[in-house]
């Protein structure tokens, strides 16, 4: 459960010396921002999006890619009525954007301006497609961001979360859901061991 990141975030909260304000949550806590961004990037709630073309269109690529026949292509024709699957999870894990450690959970990547220079030129919200992009971007993403930050800051201040050793997998049922290997019949689970943290930041 990444105890090192829990400690860094808890220290950031305790250093405020008070309950985080709205301004603190939205722009005054770098580690809270970084952990939230990396959580949304690494494990988007919806791993792919589906859109249907309303008219014929040409989708141009940022650069040439190799088709299944081995030929280089730079665009593809999309017919009206065709469904398009947008692989959010795969895009959020592109090594050409995020580097060779794209599959790792590393919040510190969001604290490195040099690494984010390429990301910020790409697409979506902060370079990820978790909330889609363009005029059809998730209308409630600001509420999701505030809710995530408020909940995480509240819990991490009072509790420490520990890995129970359960082997976890994810499956897609409208949204990404976690389950314990061998206990699929019990439905969605996320077993945790939780301990209290006192106001000084020690267990």
Q: Give the number of other Cβ atoms within 10 Å of residue 37's Cβ.
A: 22
Which residue reads 């304000």 in tokens? 21
Q: Do 24 and 68 share a structural domain?
A: no
Domain containing 43: what range? Answer: 3-48+87-157
3-state secondary structure of 66: strand
Structure tokens belonging to residue 57:
């269109």
pLDDT of 202 > 60? The answer is no
Domain count, the chain: 2
Q: Are 198 and 159 in contact (CB under 8 A)?
A: no
Binding residues for heme: 138
Binding residues: 138
Question: For the segment 117-157, what is each residue's pLDDT rounded down to a tens digit?
Answer: 766 666 678 888 899 888 888 899 999 999 999 999 999 99
Please tell me the predicted confidence (pLDDT) of residue 111. 92
Q: Do 96 and 78 share a structural domain?
A: no
Q: Is residue 117 part of a domain?
A: yes
Q: Are 92 and 123 in contact (CB under 8 A)?
A: no
pLDDT of 200 > 80? The answer is no
Q: Do 29 and 92 share a structural domain?
A: yes
Structure letter (DSSP) for residue 137: S
| Residue 11: band (very low, low, confident or very high) from pLDDT cuts 50, 70, 90 | very high
Structure tokens belonging to residue 15:
């250093």
């Amino acid at each position: 459960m990444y105890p090192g990141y829990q400690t860094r975030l808890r220290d950031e909260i305790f250093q405020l010396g008070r309950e985080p304000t709205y301004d603190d949550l939205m722009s005054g806590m770098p580690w809270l921002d970084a952990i939230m961004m990396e959580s949304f990037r690494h494990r988007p709630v919806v791993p792919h999006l589906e859109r249907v073309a309303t008219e014929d269109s040409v989708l141009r690529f940022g650069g040439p890619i190799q088709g299944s026949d081995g030929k280089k292509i730079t665009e593809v024709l999309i017919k009206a009525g065709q469904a398009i699957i947008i692989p959010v999870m795969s895009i959020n894990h592109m090594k050409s954007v995020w580097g060779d450690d794209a599959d790792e959970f590393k919040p510190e990547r969001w604290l490195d301006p040099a690494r984010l220079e390429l990301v910020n030129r790409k697409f979506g919200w902060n370079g990820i497609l978790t909330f889609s992009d363009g005029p059809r971007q998730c209308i409630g993403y600001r509420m999701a961001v505030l809710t995530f930050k408020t909940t995480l800051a509240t819990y991490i201040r009072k509790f420490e979360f520990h890995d129970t050793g359960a082997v976890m997998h994810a499956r897609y049922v409208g949204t990404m859901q976690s389950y314990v290997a061998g206990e699929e019949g019990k439905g969605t689970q996320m077993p945790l061991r939780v301990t209290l943290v006192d106001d000084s930041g020690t267990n």
